[in-house]
């Protein structure tokens, strides 16, 4: 699953499509600390590298190389602008410990001077951007069972960097599509009066199929190289195979359950209605792929099948078997950071205007951590934000619409959101927070959600009472009312 940016263009387009254009809310709900100095120095180094890359571009196609480098830089910059990069000193120190273990054992990698950054994104992925930056999503860190598996992912991304896969892919792409031969072909097609688009589609497919085939080859190469790097460390090499084996199911939710909505949102004063769970019939038979479609989709896969990847590395792993190697170097820290990241992914979804996902994850996680007052607060805050948005008829700017392409549990949850009314949202938040207030009032974020739930449910006296409580009991106040 870890991505290596074989075709940056696709990634950039993809990210633009994900609606990350919003201004992130100030990190009020992050469970991590912010370190402005680290952020500034890291970004400065990335910017310096970008300027160096731009300065070194030569040749006829330098304009196009510059364009792609700019897209790559803008993508990284947008992650900084969105407060997507983890700057918490302790979290940075933790990931750097693992990176150091790998770099010290592999001087060839050390020479590349890589920057491994933790990215607050919830989806399980890691990517090597080609200019020295490796992004490791917190959504992948908390899916693995041990540090050795995470170390394999780090080695895999560093292997892409070492093998210069991203830059080679950019070279290949530009030198293909801006070659005289290709331009001649395009010119010929552009002058055609008829069947122009068919010819273009054929041409585009031929490049895409070739590009994706190379991409799959690069993945296999990076797997092999990663094992070479990992075997020099103290980590258990066998975990590489396990990590690869997990990729088929890594997109499953961390807490893989339907949120128990009836348990959370059933109150005697506002009883749960089964009609809220109703899903409409699939329109026009739903989404079906023909055999031809499936063949095209298979040819466009960027990564080889996980089973094949495991099969491919197993003999190497057996050959390199080293008794006494470790699954952890800091087990307790790993476990603790996983718990922190479970929450941080929710905070980032919330800040990224994906409130439906934040609420969904918060409800799932609450089932696992039932006494966690921060999670309770995020349920309340998400509902409160949905209430305010719905009142202005802007709910669908912060919640996703159901789609046959989505994960089934999440899609069921989105149908639930479609079925509830403005007053239901207010009531859910009010009763949910009120029932938990004894446990939660020491948590400032909880109190913020509690007070807003009173406002939305039209309980001004209760709201005032809790504002007074907040002002009396919290000397350093992050929220204003």
| Interface residues toward other proteins, by CB under 8 A | 64, 177-178, 183, 186-187, 189-190, 193-198, 200, 203-204, 280-281, 283-288, 290, 390-391, 393-397, 401-405, 418, 421-422
Residue 184 CB, shortest distance to other proteins, in Å, is: 10
Separation CA 401–CA 111 (nearest Å):
47
Q: Return the number of the residue (66 or 308) whose C-beta is nearest other proteins.
A: 66
Distance separating alpha carbons of residues 206 and 37, to the nearest angstrom: 47
Crossing angle of helices 373-391/355-368, nearest 10°?
Answer: 150
Q: Which one, of 275, 274, 270, lies nearest residue 431 by Cα? A: 270
Length of the chain counted residue by residue: 481
By the 10 Å C-beta count (0-12 exposed, 13-18 middle, 19+ buried), 136 is classed as: buried
CB of 14 to other proteins, least distance (A): 16
Nearer to other proteins, 304 or 402 (CB): 402
* Residue 118 beta carbon to other proteins: minimum distance, rounded to whole angstroms: 33
Give 12 or 200: the residue with its C-beta nearer to other proteins. 200
User: Residue 386 Cβ, how far from other proteins at the closest point, in Å?
Assistant: 11
Instruction: Name the DSSP class of 18.
Output: T
Give whichever of 64 and 123 is closer to other proteins, judged by the CB atom: 64
Looking at the DSSP assignment, which residues form a beta bridge with residue 326?
235
Q: Which CB, 26 or 287, lies closer to other proteins?
A: 287
Minimum separation from the CB atom of position 360 to other proteins (A)? 17
Report helix, strand and coil shares of the chain as percent, to nearest 5: 65, 5, 30
Residue 259 CB, shortest distance to other proteins, in Å, is 20
Instruction: Report the residue number, 197 or 330, with the smaller CB distance to other proteins.
Output: 197
What tokens were used for 29?
Answer: 């709900």
Fill in the DSSP letter of residue 263: H
Closest separation in Å from C-beta 66 to other proteins: 14
Largest CA distance in the chain: 76
Nearer to other proteins, 255 or 276 (CB): 276
48 vs 421, beta carbon nearer other proteins: 421
DSSP 385-438: HHHHHHHTT-GGGTSPPP-TTS-HHHHHHHHHHHH--HHHHHHHHHHHHHHTHH
**Run of H or E including 152:** helix 147-162
Backbone angles phi, psi at 127, to 5 degrees: -145, 145
**Torsion on CA atoms 109, 112, 116, 117, rounded to nearest 10:** -170
| C-beta of 421 vs 477, nearer to other proteins | 421
Please identify, using beta-carbon distances, which residue of 103 and 398 lies nearer to other proteins.
Answer: 398
Q: d(Cα 214, Cα 212) in Å, to the nearest integer?
A: 5
Q: Whole-number minimum distance, CB 137 to other proteins, in Å?
A: 26
The helix or strand, by DSSP H or E, that contains position 369, with its residue range, turns out to be none
Phi, psi of 64 (to 5 degrees): -75, -35
Minimal distance, residue 188 CB to other proteins, in Å: 10
Task: Give CA–CA dist 71/64, Å, rounded.
Answer: 11
The least distance separating other proteins from the CB of residue 409, rounded to whole angstroms, comes to: 17
**Smallest separation (angstroms) from other proteins to the CB of 221:** 28
DSSP code per residue over 124-150: --EEE-SSSEEEEEHHHHTT-SSHHHH
The helix or strand, by DSSP H or E, that contains position 118, with its residue range, turns out to be strand 115-119
Q: Which is nearer to other proteins, 26 or 401 (CB)?
A: 401
């Amino acid at each position: 699953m870890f991505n290596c940016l074989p075709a940056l263009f696709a990634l950039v387009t993809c990210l633009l499509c994900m609606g990350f254009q919003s201004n992130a809310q100030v990190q009020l709900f992050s469970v991590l600390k912010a370190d402005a100095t680290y952020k500034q120095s890291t970004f400065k180094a990335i910017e310096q590298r970008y300027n160096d890359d731009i300065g070194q571009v030569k040749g006829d196609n330098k304009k196009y190389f510059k364009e792609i480098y700019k897209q790559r830089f803008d993508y990284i910059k947008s992650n900084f602008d969105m407060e997507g990069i983890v700057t918490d000193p302790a979290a940075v120190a933790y990931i750097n410990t693992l990176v150091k273990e790998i770099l010290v054992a592999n001087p060839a990698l050390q020479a590349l001077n890589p920057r491994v950054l933790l990215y607050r994104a919830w989806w399980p992925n890691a990517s090597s951007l080609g200019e020295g930056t490796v992004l490791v999503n917190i959504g992948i860190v908390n899916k693995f069972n041990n540090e050795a598996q995470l170390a394999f992912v780090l080695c895999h991304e560093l292997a892409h960097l070492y093998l210069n896969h991203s830059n080679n892919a950019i070279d290949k792409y530009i030198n293909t599509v801006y070659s005289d031969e290709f331009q001649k072909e395009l010119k010929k097609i552009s002058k055609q009066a008829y069947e122009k688009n068919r010819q273009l589609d054929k041409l585009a497919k031929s490049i895409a199929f070739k590009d994706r085939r190379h991409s799959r080859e690069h993945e296999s190469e990076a797997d092999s190289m990663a094992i070479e790097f990992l075997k020099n460390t103290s980590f258990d090499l066998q975990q590489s195979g396990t990590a690869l084996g997990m990729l088929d199911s890594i997109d499953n939710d961390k807490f893989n359950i339907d949120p128990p909505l009836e348990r959370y949102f059933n109150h005697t004063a506002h009883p749960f209605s089964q009609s809220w769970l109703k899903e409409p019939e699939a329109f026009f038979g739903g989404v079906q792929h023909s055999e031809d479609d499936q063949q095209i989709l298979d040819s466009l896969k960027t990564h080889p099948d996980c089973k094949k990847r495991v099969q491919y590395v197993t003999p190497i792993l057996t050959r390199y078997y080293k008794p006494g190697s470790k699954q952890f170097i800091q087990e307790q820290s790993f476990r603790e950071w996983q718990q922190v990241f479970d929450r941080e992914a929710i905070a980032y979804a919330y800040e990224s205007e994906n409130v439906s996902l934040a609420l969904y994850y918060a409800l799932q996680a609450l089932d696992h951590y039932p006494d966690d007052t921060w999670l309770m607060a995020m349920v309340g805050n998400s509902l409160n934000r949905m209430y305010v948005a719905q009142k202005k008829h802007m709910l669908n700017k912060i919640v996703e619409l159901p789609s046959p392409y989505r994960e089934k549990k999440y899609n069921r949850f989105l149908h639930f959101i479609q079925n509830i009314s403005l007053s239901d949202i207010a009531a859910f938040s009010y009763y949910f927070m009120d029932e938990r207030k004894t446990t939660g009032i020491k948590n400032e974020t909880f109190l913020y959600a509690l007070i807003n739930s009173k406002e939305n449910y039209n309980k001004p006296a209760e709201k005032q009472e809790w504002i007074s409580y907040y002002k009396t009991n919290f000397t350093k106040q992050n929220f204003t009312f």
